[in-house]
Amino acid sequence: MDNAHQPVVAARSHALHGMVVSPHTVASEAGREILRQGGTAVDAAVAVSAALSVTYPHMNGLGGDGLWLFYDAATRQVYGLNGAGRSAVRLQSPEHNQELPQRGAAAATTVPGAVDAWWQAHQRLGKLPWAALLEPAIGLAQDGYELSPSQSRWTQRDWELLTHDLGAAAVFSLAAQPTGQPIKNPALAEVLQALAPGGTDEFYRGANARANVGYIAPLGSPLSLEDFATHQSSWVDPIATTYRGHRVYQLPPSTQGLSVLQILNLIEPYNIAGLGQVDYYHLLVEATKLAFRDRNRWIGDPGFSDIPVERLISKPYADGLRSQISPSLARSEPLSATGGDTIYAAVVDRQGNAVSLLQSLYFDYGCGVVPPSLGFALNNRGSLFSLDPSHPNGLAPGKRPLHTLIPAMALRHGQPRLVFGTMGGEGQPQTQVALLTRVLDLGLDIQTAVNLPRWRWGRTWGQPTARLALEGRIEPAICDALRQRGHQLQIEADWSEAMGHAHMIQILDDRFLGACDPRSDGVAVGV
């Protein structure tokens, strides 16, 4: 659902001692307060993530996943954390000629991984007491927060879905109101309070897990107490390529992070600054098609198949593909619909530590099922599995599906310079490349890079073919020229929330700059 009005476009924020950016103002402020208390970027990021689980429950939460990138100033290393859940050990393929369920408890097939990711990040790179990081979120759930335009819109849109589940209807009934209403979630506050004393055991092996499984299993979910008890996030080595003097980092499979690196490799020889707008859009879309073709062929859980990552992200491989980009004709490429609603947040601290993270339920409100005693929706990420058993992303028990979440950062001379990302399913690689080219090739400031009109090539649910979606602010003459090259266009709102909430932090020698997407309800705040 698109924003129907032009948002107030804020100027970029700047600070000397740290920066936080997220899609909800009070979540950003929670992270800033943790930085002021002497917390690390990871401490602040955990606080932001927990707060967003309360204030943006339609897009993320304790029932979803979390994927993180970290720069550790002490070791000068970039680390990755895959906090995606694995599928149930009792997961079975649907009967012949049936598709994977998209909504309802039967679509809750993967363990929520976000909470364990918070814990793993804090244990390795945090400083303040764990309980202190959850205090802002507990207060928001107990005392209430102001209903955001985004949550109001999506709850009204999804209200019929939510009424199919007694828990969802009970927990989120007040969110189907006009913006600005006070919203509380006492059940979620109790869950967060139970996590505060001792970490995640209560969530994965205690009363919270029993309440979760006890509610969703009778409704058709294959998840069991065993699935929750054995879940653990995975520390992974990031993958990277170079672009315009920067080293750009992404998470490896099971995420689509290599798509960004492939697109950058494909467009690197072009003089991006010298291209006209039509050529710019055309080039990036055509490069995206080639990268997504590889994504759809290769990406899945690396524990189940061999994925030639190093070859796919190499410069010679891109050199061999580049000739398939026609300067004047759009390629026709089949593409599966991937969807996805997510949050992106970033934090840097005065010591130079940086965090880039995404949390997601996959669809808005996930599978649409909410255990009423817990107060959060379960994700439906498992609906992205393929029913082809020979495919790397083929459905199987104990497996992570292909994941669209791709936090990013770019380093120069071994130091982080840009920390960035966006929500938006398969729009994520495309928007990341838009941000990088606007800053590194066109020399734009980061807020302008975020504000400029965006595009998204892909197929949404219910459409027979892939289309190139463009924000309505793109000039009609440009749209006409793209149609003449064979692009099937879909014109969206001027400031379309479907294009994602993209945020950036730029780290300069003497200060931090932050840019928050005006398509969101957030703000960049510094210390």
E-strand stretches of 393-473: 408-412, 415-422, 455-458, 467-471
Query: How many C-beta neighbours within 10 Å does residue 164 have?
Result: 12
Nearest alpha carbon to residue 2 among 157, 142, 225 = 157
Active site residue 342: yes
**Which residue type does 125 have?**
L
Q: Which of these is catalytic: 342, 404, 422, 437?
A: 342
129/338 Cα distance (integer angstroms)? 38
Please, what is the angle between helix 277-298 and helix 476-484, to 10°? 60
End-to-end distance of the chain based on CA atoms, in angstroms? Answer: 34
Half-sphere exposure of 495 toward its Cβ, with a 13 Å CA cutoff? 17
Nearest alpha carbon to residue 85 among 248, 288, 222 = 222
Pull the structure tokens for residue 307: 């994925």
228/213 Cα distance (integer angstroms)? 9
**Which residue type does 83 have?**
G
385/482 Cα distance (integer angstroms)? 33
Pull the structure tokens for residue 192: 């967060």
Type and span of the H or E element at 207: helix 207-216
Query: At which residue do the structure tokens 């989120």 appear?
Result: 172
Active site residues: 342
